[in-house]
Structures are given as structure tokens and as C-alpha cells.
């Protein structure tokens, strides 16, 4: 299951593309229900119960976000667990373009660097390619870079 990222303005010069707010709230609720179930059970929880609890907790701490900051002239991509997420900073000057790559099963949004390096920003199923185009247009405009097909 893919959790769709949400594009949201987070300041006058900042555009964020990240997991939706409901994702963390849903994971917290699931963690609370599982924790209550383990605590209220008849006996001590078994290894599968603890493993599931840990997996849900780690899922709630997962972060995948892009920040397109025109004021600072950079893109910040954070990926990993919140407390130890790896941040990659890419200056706008290092970005050549954004492009949409159509595939039989969907469409990819890719950021190409001037050094030939490409980074996958997101992918959408074929039936939602129009929505990805709108997201790509806003991101490209924010960075002042072209969007090509």
C-alpha cells in the first residue's frame, strides 16, 4: 500500500511534500489499540505481539518529506525514522529539470541534476497521472526549473 504524499505550502517561500497528517495520527491510534490489547490480555504478550507493536511504532516514526525552499534556494529531502532521518540538501543550482516518466503501470516524478544524477520524488498509478502533473508543475515553478515529459 502506498501512502500518497501531500503538497502543502509551509511558508511564503516554502513548499512541503510529505506524508499526510492522518498517517501519524492513524499510526498512533493503531499503536494505542495494540498496546491496550497487549496490556489487557490474559497472559503476557508473546513475541509476535511485541514484534507487531514495535513495527507499528517504527512505522509511526517513519518520515519521507521534501521541502522546496525558494527563500534558501534549496531542496531538503528527509528519509528514515524521525529521530535518525537522513537529510539530503540539494541547491536549486544543482537541479537541471523535473520530468514525468510515463510507465505502463503509472507515472514517475523525477528530479534531474546538472551532474546527471536523478532522484525519484514520487510515483502515481496511471489513473492518477493528472494529479501528479499538477504536483510536478507546482514543484517545478517553486524551484524555477522546467518540467518536461
Structural domain spans, the chain: 6-148
d(CA 75, CA 54): 32
- Provide the whole-model pTM: 0.81
Residues 87, 76 contacting (CB under 8 angstroms) = yes
d(CA 96, CA 110): 11
The predicted structure's pLDDT at residue 142: 94
Residues 37-71 pLDDT 10s: 888 877 777 788 888 888 888 878 888 889 999 99
Q: Which class is domain 6-148?
A: mainly beta
Amino acid at each position: 500500500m502506498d501512502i500518497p504524499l501531500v503538497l502543502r505550502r509551509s511558508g511564503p517561500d516554502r513548499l512541503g511534500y510529505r506524508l499526510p497528517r492522518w498517517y501519524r495520527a492513524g499510526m498512533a491510534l493503531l499503536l494505542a489499540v495494540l498496546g491496550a490489547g497487549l496490556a489487557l490480555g490474559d497472559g503476557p504478550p508473546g513475541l509476535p505481539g511485541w514484534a507487531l507493536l514495535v513495527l507499528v511504532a517504527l512505522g509511526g516514526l517513519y518520515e519521507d518529506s521534501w521541502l522546496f525552499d525558494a527563500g534558501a534556494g534549496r531542496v531538503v529531502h528527509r528519509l528514515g525514522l524521525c529521530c535518525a532521518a537522513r537529510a539530503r540538501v540539494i541547491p536549486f543550482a544543482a537541479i537541471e529539470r523535473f520530468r514525468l516518466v510515463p510507465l505502463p503501470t503509472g507515472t514517475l516524478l523525477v528530479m534531474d541534476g546538472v551532474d546527471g544524477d536523478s532522484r525519484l520524488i514520487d510515483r502515481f498509478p496511471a489513473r492518477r497521472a493528472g494529479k501528479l502533473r499538477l504536483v510536478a508543475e507546482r514543484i517545478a515553478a517553486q524551484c524555477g526549473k522546467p518540467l518536461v515529459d
